[in-house]
Amino acid sequence: MIDVLIVDDHTIFRSGLKRLLSDEPDMRVADEARNGVEMLAKLRRTRRFDVVVLDVNMEGRSGLDTLEAVRADFPKLPVLVLSMYPEEQYALTAIRAGANGYASKDIDAPELIKAIRQVAAGGRYLTADGAQKVLMHLGGGDNPPPHQKLTAREYQIMLMMIKGTSLTEIGEKIFISVKTVSTYRSRILGKLEVNNNAELILYAVRHGIIVS
């Protein structure tokens, strides 16, 4: 039996995924968590999960920030990151943060089941196209493009900025102050060597982060 820990701050999504997995004879949702703090507490208390299905956007620390803490205490625990972000935008960041697989939330149900089984068995999961892009970037030598050097949190905020999300909205979505978001913005622009959001969008198009 594959015991799954679902980590997502949306109750409806957790319930839907739980119903989906209940139809599988070899899977069950052993527990749920709304955020990274709850997840770490449950992991440290029980240590009996076969795979974690982890959302990126959660209250407090993001899923990828939390994943770093998970890897420190549970280096071999299989983790499948499930996110609203397209694979081409976030898969590489997730794998570098320690995820065993990455899937976007618009994935078909049978493919998600396959992904969970694959990760739980000790494998990795990406779509064929996603795997090709990740391998290309990982094999890109000692001088990767600047955005690949961003932290998981910086990358998350960068994507929101590219979409035109205001600093206030970003802070509300990821539960940090506007002042902190502004600090992240300055850090991101500096690392990417751009001066404003317009140049950031041009950078994103040029590097294939978004399509013009």
pLDDT for the residue 212 = 44
What are the Cα distances from residue 110, in Å, to 16, 17, 176, 198? 14, 12, 36, 40
Element containing residue 148 per DSSP (H, E): none
Whole-structure pTM value: 0.74
CATH code matching the domain that covers 2-138, chosen among 3.90.1170.20, 3.40.390.10, 3.40.50.300, 3.40.50.2300: 3.40.50.2300
Would residue 62 be called left, alpha or beta, if left means φ above 0 and alpha means ψ between -120 and 50 degrees? beta
Which among 194, 198, 87 is positioned nearest to 145, based on CA atoms? Answer: 194
Distance separating alpha carbons of residues 117 and 174, to the nearest angstrom:
30
Mean pLDDT for each 10-residue chunk of the chain (212 residues)? 92 92 92 90 87 82 79 91 78 84 89 94 82 60 75 85 91 88 95 93 83 47
Are 98 and 71 in contact, with CB atoms under 8 Å apart? yes
CATH code matching the domain that covers 146-206, chosen among 3.40.600.10, 1.20.140.70, 1.10.150.120, 1.10.10.10: 1.10.10.10
Phi, psi of 75 (to 5 degrees): -60, -25
DSSP 31: E
pLDDT for the residue 159 = 86
pLDDT for the residue 135 = 59
Task: Report helix angle 178-192 to 152-162, nearest 10.
Answer: 90
Helices (H), 4-147: 11-22, 36-46, 63-73, 87-97, 109-120, 128-138
Domain ranges of the chain: 2-138, 146-206
Distance separating alpha carbons of residues 151 and 31, to the nearest angstrom:
29
- Please say whether the dihedral angle defined by the alpha carbons of residues 10, 48, 39 and 107, taken in this order, is positive or negative: negative
Cβ atoms < 10 Å from Cβ of 198:
9
DSSP 125: B
